[in-house]
Amino acid sequence: MSHFSDRREAGRQLGAQLTHYSQHPDALVLALPRGGVPVGFEVARILETPLDVCLIRKLGVPGHEELAFGAVTSDGTRVLNDDVIESLNLSQEIVNAVTLRELRHLAASEVLYRDAQPAAEVAGKIILLVDDGLATGASTRSAIAMLQQQAVARLVVAVPVAPADVCQQFRQLVDEVVCLFTPDPFQAVGLWYEDFSPVSDEEVRELLAECEVKGEHPL
């Protein structure tokens, strides 16, 4: 029933569908950690483009963290869902406290993944936003909102697997959506991988370092 052996193989298949961006001087692969990084690594390797991680944290309602009222990136760019904030009557103090907590998590991830090197510059770039799949697409949607505030030249969402209706929604938000497989019924991303083992922080570090050694990292 699985469609991909693992994330690396899915990335190789995905990269083969993105060759129109091969060696483009303005192209940058941004992978959502952690599962998107092995996929993005293979895409960046095939296209010979830089790879970086898109560090983003959802801002969860205290006590109901699965319900997000916004998201924040490591550079402090924040997108808020005013409807959720107003409907739950969340105070500015709560919004700021949760933001501060998530920024601390992001700062730790910066050190862990990049040794505190700055994030790649995205303004004016063709951004290939890569994950191992979309279910609801909440994290990717937050990343899109962030990137659209940062004057990117073109925004492409590239994933191995996603529901067809979610892909269609994303086509209204970005310049291009590349998805290899849209099963129906969809059920879950992991169902379509033979090996969907959790990706460790160490693996993310190693893949980013390997790209850097090969000169594919922007830093």
The predicted pLDDT at position 116 comes to 63
pLDDT for res 137 = 79
Q: CB neighbours of 214 closer than 8 A, spacing ≥ 6?
A: 45
Provide the pLDDT for residue 78.
Answer: 84
Write down the pLDDT at residue 24: 95
Which pLDDT score is estimated for 204? 93
pLDDT tens over the chain, length 219 residues: 679 999 999 999 999 999 999 999 999 999 998 999 999 999 999 999 999 999 888 898 999 877 888 888 877 888 888 888 999 999 999 999 999 999 999 888 888 887 767 778 899 999 999 999 998 777 788 889 889 888 999 999 999 999 999 999 999 999 999 999 999 999 899 999 999 999 999 999 999 988 874 444 443
Domains of the chain (ranges, CATH numbers): 7-55+120-212 (3.40.50.2020), 57-114 (3.30.1310)
- Distance (Å, rounded) from C-alpha 219 to C-alpha 215? 9
Confidence at residue 211, expressed as pLDDT on a 0 to 100 scale? 81
